[in-house]
A and B are shown apart, each in its own frame.
Chain A
Amino acid sequence: MRLSRREFLGSALAGTAGALFPVPAAGQGAVPRVVVVGGGFAGASCARALRTADPRIAVTLVEPSATFIACPLSNAVLGGLRELSAQQFTYERIAADGVTLARAAATAVEASMRAVTLADGRRLGYDRLVLAPGIDIRWGALPGYDEAAAAHMPHAWRAGEQTLLLRRQLEAMADGGLVVIAAPANPFRCPPGPYERASLIAHYLKTRKPRSKLIVLDAKDAFSKQRLFLQAWSELYPGLLEWVPLSKGGAVTSVDAATRTLVTDFGRHKADVANVIPPQKAGRIAEVAGVADRSGWCPIDPVTFESRLQPGIHVIGDAAIAGAMPKSAFAANSQAKTCAAAVARLVTGAAPSAPKLINTCYSLVAPDYGISVAGVYQPSGGQLAEVPGSGGVSPADAPRATRALEAGLAESWFRTITTEVFG
């Protein structure tokens, strides 16, 4: 995947020649141009890291929203422990670092022409394109669950209005009500997310509506940090939170939004509040650009994150098939910096070096009870694999003081990464 000098020059010339491309002022001459699509943890981190890696690179960040709403800790918003405003960030400081912001959605990619089309009609030429589109919901993949259904049974899997809708429904529910969460099969954004959500909703019910019940209907028999979650649930939320795995009939086969009913092979659950976390795929532009495979996700080279399907296009974050790395904000940030380093080398004709990546994910089981999973990854056999002997979850026998410490670290991590990426 590395470019020879001649190939690089060729593509640079193709990119800057022709009147086809409205070349941005900063992109004139031999300045390498990198376009990053998507302003989440992956894209925003990558745009900034590219400027740090090589200030000569003209970086454009394509993102239609003026405000980014972060998903990590948004489960605390559902449980009334946190306000959505604490999840919101803007792009001003990224622009101040010399990143050009394009406030529009990317609608098309012409890989052969090395150009991206935006919804406002602009065309941006690039030497390298980085796609960080996050996830899209597979509407209709779960029968009965379409965009209209999400107004009754929120997914709240992209933080924002959906998060507030689910919170309002929980607040409006009478004590003694039934809350049902439907968790999807792998892969999906934030593997421990449904279980942290169940925990913090259970905490809300326990403290505010203690006669209520929460059922998690799961399309899987195993999940992230499972032992720690199950142990904490039996300690903190006995009789309140019930997890139904696939083998016990947990897989939801259809939903009826009008009656808030979730159907499994074993029965029907009529919920007072239903949170359907639906099947997902890479954000739409990945499909449009031809970098998503039949799974709906994007195969990549583990050293450069360059697409295995389209040369010159890199995919990072939740949209990528990153081997053993989970779809998390930490992983997205780690991948973004790796990809930025590789791209900075590739645009000058240099060879990228072998990376090492990290993931750390904290989950809150209660406001003062945190657990974590960590991993270290490196390219191996064409994929990102865990470094043998590294990583793992919090100890099962840790005292409550350690759980409290990790709950504090969850907040510390969030403050640090959001400051580093957006501040």
Chain B
Amino acid sequence: MRRTLAAAIGATSIAAAVVASAEPPAGAAACSGCHPASTRVTTPVVRLAGRDRAEIVKAMQEFRSGMRASTVMDRIAKGFTDQEIQAIAAWYAAQR
């Protein structure tokens, strides 16, 4: 149902809806295997929790297109749609 909703109202609305709910959108929990969902976890990996939403979206899109140099993120970004990236970025931006 969430998917239908996303298609109907568009990515911005779904992103807003995701922020309101605590449950991570599809894929976000898997990202947290490297990028912790909490700012309390000390990590040498690039921090996403609490980061600007648009910044995360831009990075993912550039990894996916090959514009931005990476090690693994190019291969991972290719597995996500624009809508999924929007939702994941919004969720990470809302984490503290």
Q: Which of A's residues lie within 8 Å of B, judged by CB?
A: 49, 53, 330, 333-334, 337-338, 341, 353-358, 360, 372, 374-377, 386-387, 389-392, 394, 402, 405-406, 409, 412-413, 415-417, 419-420, 423
Q: Does B27 contact A (CB under 8 A)?
A: yes
Complex Cα distance A375/B45, Å? 18
Scoring B3, B31, B43, B84 by chain A CB atoms within 10 A of each residue's CB, the highest score goes to B43
Residues of B near A357 (CB, < 8 A) are 27, 30
Assuming A356-B84, A390-B76, is B29 touching A420 (CB within 8 A)?
A: no
Residues of B near A415 (CB, < 8 A) are 43-44
Contact A333 B33 (CB under 8 A): yes
User: Which 6 A-B pairs rank lowest in CB-CB distance, beginning with the nearest?
Assistant: A376-B79, A390-B79, A337-B29, A358-B30, A356-B27, A387-B79
- Closest Cβ neighbor of A387 among chain B residues: B79
Is the interface on chain B under 10, 10 to 19, 20 to 34, or 35 or more residues?
A: 20 to 34
B77 → chain A closest CB, angstroms: 8
Residues of A near B72 (CB, < 8 A) are 360, 372, 374, 409
- Closest Cβ neighbor of B77 among chain A residues: A390
Q: Which of B's residues lie within 8 Å of A, judged by CB?
A: 2-3, 22-24, 26-27, 29-36, 41-45, 71-72, 75-76, 78-80, 84
Complex Cα distance A386/B74, Å? 15
Residues of A near B24 (CB, < 8 A) are 337, 341
Residues of B near A392 (CB, < 8 A) are 75
Partner of B34 from A341, A389, A391, A416 at Cβ < 8 Å: A416
Assuming A355-B26, A356-B84, is B75 touching A334 (CB within 8 A)?
A: no
Complex Cα distance A420/B30, Å? 12
Residues of B near A341 (CB, < 8 A) are 23-24, 29
Contact B36 A376 (CB under 8 A): no
Contact B41 A420 (CB under 8 A): yes
Complex Cα distance A402/B3, Å? 38
Contact A354 B3 (CB under 8 A): yes
7 A-B contact pairs sorted by A residue (CB < 8 Å): A356-B80, A358-B31, A360-B33, A372-B71, A374-B72, A416-B35, A419-B36
- Closest Cβ neighbor of A351 among chain B residues: B1
Partner of B36 from A49, A406, A409, A416 at Cβ < 8 Å: A416
Partner of A394 from B34, B71, B78, B79 at Cβ < 8 Å: B71
Contact A402 B79 (CB under 8 A): no
Residues of A near B22 (CB, < 8 A) are 53
Contact B71 A334 (CB under 8 A): no
Complex Cα distance A409/B45, Å? 8
B15 → chain A closest CB, angstroms: 16
A376 → chain B closest CB, angstroms: 3
A284 → chain B closest CB, angstroms: 27
- Closest Cβ neighbor of B2 among chain A residues: A353
Residues of B near A372 (CB, < 8 A) are 71-72
Residues of B near A49 (CB, < 8 A) are 29
Contact B44 A416 (CB under 8 A): yes
Complex Cα distance A353/B43, Å? 29
Assuming A402-B71, A416-B44, A420-B41, is B76 touching A374 (CB within 8 A)?
A: yes
Residues of A near B29 (CB, < 8 A) are 49, 334, 337-338, 341, 355
Residues of A near B44 (CB, < 8 A) are 412, 415-416
Residues of A near B80 (CB, < 8 A) are 356, 376, 387, 390
Given A358-B31, A415-B44, 8 extra CB contacts under 8 A:
A386-B79, A387-B80, A413-B34, A415-B43, A416-B43, A416-B44, A417-B34, A419-B42
Residues of A near B35 (CB, < 8 A) are 416
B73 → chain A closest CB, angstroms: 9
- Closest Cβ neighbor of A416 among chain B residues: B43
B31 → chain A closest CB, angstroms: 7
Residues of B near A419 (CB, < 8 A) are 36, 41-43
- Closest Cβ neighbor of A361 among chain B residues: B72
- Closest Cβ neighbor of A49 among chain B residues: B29
Scoring B3, B32, B42 by chain A CB atoms within 10 A of each residue's CB, the highest score goes to B32
A402 → chain B closest CB, angstroms: 7
